[in-house]
Amino acid sequence: MYGTRLRALSIATLITLTGGFALAAFYAPEDADQGFMQKILYVHVPLAIVALCGFVFAAVCAIQHLRTGESRWDLRSYVAIHMSLIFGAAVLITGSIWARASWGHWWVWDEPTLVSFLIVFLLYATYQPLRFSIEDRDKQGRYASVFAITAGAFVPLNFLAVRMAQSYTHPRVFATANGGLEPRMKVAFYVCLLGMALLYATLWKYEMTSKNTSAQIKRLRRRLAGDEGALPRRSASPTLEST
């Protein structure tokens, strides 16, 4: 199911990302103040947007898990959070590089955008330790879903709070008061954003495919070992315990 059209998705991701980075490097003009270093924006900001959207997607899957009780939704939520944490780590790394080049410091604690994203990242970093500290599979899935929903609701609230803050050091990509991005910058930015979204979807599908395949292999091995009677005839949805 998850491996369907993965090759086409992978090729589309590669083409879009390559095109986006090429536009950012050669088509979009350099920033008047920061010069070429400002082009890290085309990596840093799309990573942040996609990571936060991934957390919200995980919350939606968690709602479906609590509503239906199907383990496949729990697994989708888990993989979405896993992918967003990887993207989030990349956001913090690229953000620190950008801060060092722009402000002369690796981190600025009085900047609400940076600190708020770090809080969200650390909040979700507790997801896996919390989840796997629970041995019962059903309770594990339910508690993890409640966590994903609660944390997912915090993401847009946190975003709104940052947007309402008065002190801005971090550049506003979608600002309108100061004109926002130059048209050629917008083209490069949106292509990079689309590429990052495709990259997230591709990696998510690859991990889901891996876990689904692993679960099927384990079921086949148990049947070959003579334990077929303890398993359902039809393949069930993969769970984190079985993968």
Summarize pLDDT for 37-77 with one digit per residue, the tens: 778 889 999 999 999 999 999 999 999 999 998 888 999 99
Q: For residue range 116-155, list pLDDT tens digits in order.
A: 889 899 999 999 898 888 888 888 889 999 999 999 988 8
Q: CA-CA-CA-CA torsion for 192, 204, 122, 91, nearest 10 degrees?
A: -20
The residue among 22, 74, 59, 33 whose CA lies nearest residue 195 is 22
Burial of 117 (0-12, 13-18, 19+ CB in 10 A): buried
Predicted confidence at residue 239, as pLDDT, reads 64
Lowest mean pLDDT of 3-12, 64-73, 79-88, 162-171, name the range: 162-171
* Mean pLDDT across 70-95: 93
Is the CA virtual torsion 202, 207, 210, 213 positive or negative? negative
Report how far residue 196's alpha carbon sits from residue 201's, in angstroms, rounded to the nearest whole number: 9
Tell me the pLDDT of the chain averaged across its residues: 82
The residue among 140, 128, 139 whose CA lies nearest residue 81 is 128
Q: What is the pTM of this model?
A: 0.82
* Mean pLDDT across 89-101: 88
Report how far residue 218's alpha carbon sits from residue 239's, in angstroms, rounded to the nearest whole number: 12
8 A C-beta contact, residue 195 and residue 13: yes
Task: Please count the other Cβ atoms lying within 10 Å of the Cβ belonging to residue 156.
Answer: 13
* Mean pLDDT across 13-32: 88
Considering the four listed CATH numbers 1.20.120, 3.40.720, 1.20.272, 3.30.70, the one that applies to the domain covering 6-209 is: 1.20.120
In this structure, what are the phi and psi dihedrals at residue 31, rounded to the nearest 5 degrees?
A: -70, 140
Predicted confidence at residue 58, as pLDDT, reads 95
- Check whether 167 has a pLDDT greater than 80: no
8 A C-beta contact, residue 188 and residue 20: yes
The residue among 135, 187, 194, 234 whose CA lies nearest residue 14 is 194
8 A C-beta contact, residue 112 and residue 157: no
Task: Please count the other Cβ atoms lying within 10 Å of the Cβ belonging to residue 85.
Answer: 18
Q: For residue range 197-231, list pLDDT tens digits in order.
A: 999 999 999 999 888 888 788 888 888 887 555 55
Residue with tokens 């079921």, as numbered in its chain: 219
Predicted confidence at residue 176, as pLDDT, reads 43
* Joined tokens for residue 115: 């600190």
8 A C-beta contact, residue 138 and residue 126: no
